[in-house]
Structure 1
């Protein structure tokens, strides 16, 4: 996984509605023992740690800088453990361990995603779930994606094949945030901008609540992101 600095990614700390929406996607599948991969500075870790089903949450973060912040932020939460490493490097300690594993805006940072999918399978308990949320649509790949270490943006068949080939059963897979496609293409592909707290905050406050309601009722045929839920038999 790339050692990203996190300045642009941490703009997402201002996206409160977006973060709650991501947690909502994963909630039905969490269980009591959960791994969050690429936890960053813990913006989502804080939200997941409050879920009543979770008894133990292992938050993996390979960036030393981010992991230090994560550990300080979650120091008083005794059922959260921060690990300054990747799941791949720590897998021997976590075989058949987790009821769910969360990869939220992380898998695109991993060059060999097929090996990572195999590691996920090994570390899940039988009947355990993996929740994947990734950027979608290759034509939206931008200089911003490259600069923060994205190896790819996914399409639905590509993501499904990645997990089915490892033996997973696909529970749900869908595109998310259809209205975000055009703004992203203009801002990041054409104008070559980066994330900042102002444009992130505006989109989060105005657009996300509306998109969340609509897409919870009607699944869009395409979207800026992809969600996949898969289960180990």
Structure 2
């Protein structure tokens, strides 16, 4: 199904205190939305765990949901707390029988979706959540035994910039803190690894040194050239650092 590209605003756009309050950098997020190789890479990394019924949390207008629908999944519940974005999401996928748009927060709806999902996905969303520990405890309830939470977030706190702040990011994650978060919330750690090593230096120079803005041209160029290269490198060589962190936690089977 052909779906138009829309720029997903950060979750904090809804002005709910759980996601902070800040000014929406629409042009920057629109620039980020032109990437195609990047979301395909993330889905490939998650693909061993994408099966059955999944949840896409912080789905926005559904740009990433489109790629998840290409995976071998039975259905997707796309959670979006912002009513305006939920309306766009619902309209965009009204003909897609496998996707249901849900307007709300997982912390509010965990009881309604108790042990429903085989996987719950957070793609560049958890950094917007003020209380990520409470969020993951709610996710644990929503997963079936043996199910997994799949998380992709910005990494390396020393890369935190005014741009992160403008997007409502509470933090960037480190490998050790990410693993600790999974363990504290009851998950067994399947994978915690850095991703996009080639993006570290450009991001540091662009966001920390020059405090520049993203453009569709620069994002598109990196997506076409940089992403395939770093994707190939990281397929064979574990990275000691990266612009992002990929985490997978598994809910235990009952004894």
**Would you call these one fold, judging by a TM-score over 0.5?**
yes
Which of 29, 46, 52 does residue 49 from structure 2 map onto?
29
Residues 128 and 170, structure 2, Cα contact 8 Å, conserved in 1: yes
Structure 1 runs (4+) deviating above 6 angstroms are: none
* Number of equivalent positions: 232
For residues 180-232 of structure 1, give each alpha carbon's deviation from its aligned partner in whole angstroms, at most 9, with x where no partner exists. 11110111111112322121111101110111111111111111100011100
Question: What displacement does 1:62 show?
Answer: 1.6
Return the alpha-carbon distance in structure 1 between the equivalents of residues 215 and 103 of structure 2.
26
Residues 100 and 131, structure 1, Cα contact 8 Å, conserved in 2: yes
Return the alpha-carbon distance in structure 2 between the equivalents of residues 9 and 19 of structure 1.
14
Return the alpha-carbon distance in structure 1 between the equivalents of residues 215 and 133 of structure 2.
32
Residues 103 and 131, structure 1, Cα contact 8 Å, conserved in 2: yes
**Match runs of 1:180-219 below 5 Å:** 180-219=199-238
2:120 alignment partner in structure 1: 101
Return the alpha-carbon distance in structure 2 between the equivalents of residues 227 and 6 of structure 1.
25
Question: What displacement does 1:68 show?
Answer: 2.0
**Taking structure 1 as reference, are residues 211 and 14 closer, same or farther at Cα in structure 2, changes over 3 Å only?**
same
Which of 10, 19, 22 does residue 39 from structure 2 map onto?
19
Question: What displacement does 1:112 show?
Answer: 0.4
TM-score computed with the length of structure 1 as normaliser: 0.95
**Match runs of 1:56-71 below 5 Å:** 56-71=75-90
Residues 46 and 74, structure 1, Cα contact 8 Å, conserved in 2: no
SS at match of 1:72: helix
1:136 alignment partner in structure 2: 155
Return the alpha-carbon distance in structure 2 between the equivalents of residues 6 and 83 of structure 1.
25
| RMSD, aligned α-carbons | 1.3
Residues 3 and 62, structure 1, Cα contact 8 Å, conserved in 2: no
Question: What displacement does 1:23 show?
Answer: 0.8
2:5 alignment partner in structure 1: none
Question: What displacement does 1:44 show?
Answer: 1.2
Question: What displacement does 1:11 show?
Answer: 2.5
Return the alpha-carbon distance in structure 1 between the equivalents of residues 81 and 209 of structure 2.
32
Which of 6, 10, 13 does residue 3 from structure 1 map onto?
13
For residues 35-65 of structure 1, give each alpha carbon's deviation from its aligned partner in whole angstroms, at most 9, with x where no partner exists. 00011221110111122x3111000112223
Return the alpha-carbon distance in structure 1 between the equivalents of residues 31 and 83 of structure 2.
19
Where in structure 1 are there 5+ consecutive unaligned residues?
A: none
Where in structure 2 are there 5+ consecutive unaligned residues?
A: 1-10, 15-23
Return the alpha-carbon distance in structure 1 between the equivalents of residues 62 and 214 of structure 2.
19
Which of 71, 74, 79 does residue 55 from structure 1 map onto?
74
Return the alpha-carbon distance in structure 2 between the equivalents of residues 18 and 226 of structure 1.
14
Return the alpha-carbon distance in structure 1 between the equivalents of residues 85 and 137 of structure 2.
26
Residues 35 and 101, structure 1, Cα contact 8 Å, conserved in 2: yes
